[in-house]
Structures are given as C-alpha cells and as structure tokens.
C-alpha cells in the first residue's frame, strides 16, 4: 500500500511530457488516474498506462466540468487535481499575432480556474483535496509576455484558492517543474532533465499531510520564493540561462 493507493488523481495536459510522466508515476503508485489532453492521438498511449483518458480542451468550461464530473461519478471522489496543460509561443508584444495572448490565458489560467471551480466543491464536501497548478520561473523572467503573464496570473489565482480553502484540508500549491525536455520546446532538448524527474515533486505535493503547505511554490522538492529571483537591471540576455546552469550544477 502507498499513500496514493485508492486516490483519484486528475491531470490535464496528460498526453505527453510532464503530464504523461506523472500519470505513469501515479498509476504505478496505485492511484486511479484520469488524464485529459486536447490531442486525441495521444490518448491511446495514456490508456495503455492504465489511466482513463479523455479528449478535453481545457479552454472550454463545459469540457473541463464534464472531465471532473466523470471522475467523481465513476470513483466517488476527486482527491488530487493537477492543472498541467500548457503551451508556449515566445512572441514579442509588438509582434503578437491576434488571439495568441488570449489563447495562452485560456489554456494556462482559465483551464485551471475551470477545473478548480468544478473540483473544489467536491473536495470540500469530502474534507480532503490536493491541487497542483503548474507555473514556471518564466513568471519572473523578462521574456515571452503571454507565457510569463499567464503563469504569474495562475500563481496569484492559486494563492487566492489556497486562502479561500484555508478552513479545510484542501491544499492548493504551485509547481515549478524546472527546465524539462518536453514537446513544448518544439524540438528535442536532451540536455534538460527528463519529464520523469518532475514526478517526485508532484508526488510530494499530492501527498502533503494535513496542515501542510498551502499557497506555496515548489521546485525540485523544495519551496521556491517566486518573484525574489527576477532578472536584475543591467543583466545580459544570457542571465537566465546562466542561472539555470548554476541550479542544475547544485542539484547534481
């Protein structure tokens, strides 16, 4: 038996990368996993893991609500919600194509809000829940306006949710995966950590004990003080890459 045995875990953006790796980890730990992804062609591999796979566009409230309700109806519970769906473009403000900024918020922020709105009442009724929202150190970097703004907003929304559920055993926290080799880059980034390296932190957050941290950000199994590490004035454009290399060196 593990502390995840019999738990119902919901993960968005589960078709590849971090979501897929974490679905695999949760299934191995005995949880019942419901995975959502917008790409129907990625669901078969997810089902092969032993997860329940559903085609879901997280920017659509009705689809997210149906995803959460299906898990509740079929298992009687929603113990862990992992809002992981994400994307990235990298356009400058002056070059932003019409709709790109809005799409980034729809996926990263609205999708997480829709899921929390559907799942939190279920968790509150059960007296238990763990919510993990994937954010990024990109929120504190002076790059990619849509991505940085969406992740900053999700961090703020998660802190509000943590405060609003402070009278319960529902713990809402944010995940910073760290530089990870996933399809979000659009190319192989084999020098970065594999997606499976993120699962220990996700597992830690999903199994926090009663009275555990709420409204915090976790990075490599430790709390991370977001927005205390912004790029200083006068720094070169390589500053963030240098910081990443330093952090990897310390981790290893």
- Give me the active site residues, please: 147
Query: Taking every pair of C-alpha atoms in the chain, what is the biggest distance, in angstroms?
Result: 55
CA–CA distances in Å: residue 238 to residues 49, 53, 89, 208, 235:
39, 40, 19, 36, 8
Whole-number Å distance between alpha carbons of 252 and 240: 19
Judge contact between 204 and 224, C-beta under 8 A: no
- The CA angle 16-36-78, to the nearest 5 degrees, is 125
Whole-number Å distance between alpha carbons of 68 and 11: 10
């Amino acid at each position: 038996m593990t502390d995840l045995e019999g738990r119902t875990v919901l993960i968005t953006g589960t078709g590849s990368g971090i979501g897929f790796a974490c679905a695999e980890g949760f299934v191995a730990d005995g949880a019942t996993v419901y995975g959502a992804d917008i790409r129907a062609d990625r669901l078969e591999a997810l089902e092969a893991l032993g997860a329940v796979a559903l085609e879901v566009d997280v920017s659509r409230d009705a689809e997210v609500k149906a995803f959460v309700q299906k898990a509740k109806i079929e298992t009687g519970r929603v113990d862990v919600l992992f809002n992981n769906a994400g994307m990235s473009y990298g356009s400058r403000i002056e070059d932003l194509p019409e709709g790109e900024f809005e799409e980034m918020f729809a996926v990263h922020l609205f999708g997480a809000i829709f899921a929390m709105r559907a799942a939190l009442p279920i968790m509150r009724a059960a007296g238990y829940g763990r919510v993990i929202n994937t954010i990024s150190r990109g929120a504190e970097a002076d790059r990619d306006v849509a991505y940085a703004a969406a992740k900053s907003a999700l961090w703020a929304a998660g802190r509000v949710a943590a405060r609003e559920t402070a009278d319960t055993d529902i713990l809402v926290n944010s995940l910073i995966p760290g530089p990870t080799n996933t399809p979000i880059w659009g190319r192989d980034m084999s020098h970065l950590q594999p997606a499976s390296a993120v699962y220990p932190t996700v597992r830690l957050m999903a199994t926090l004990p009663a009275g555990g941290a709420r409204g915090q950000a976790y990075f490599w199994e430790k709390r991370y003080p977001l927005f205390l590490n912004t790029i200083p004035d006068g720094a070169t454009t390589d500053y963030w890459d240098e910081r990443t290399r330093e952090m990897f060196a310390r981790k290893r």
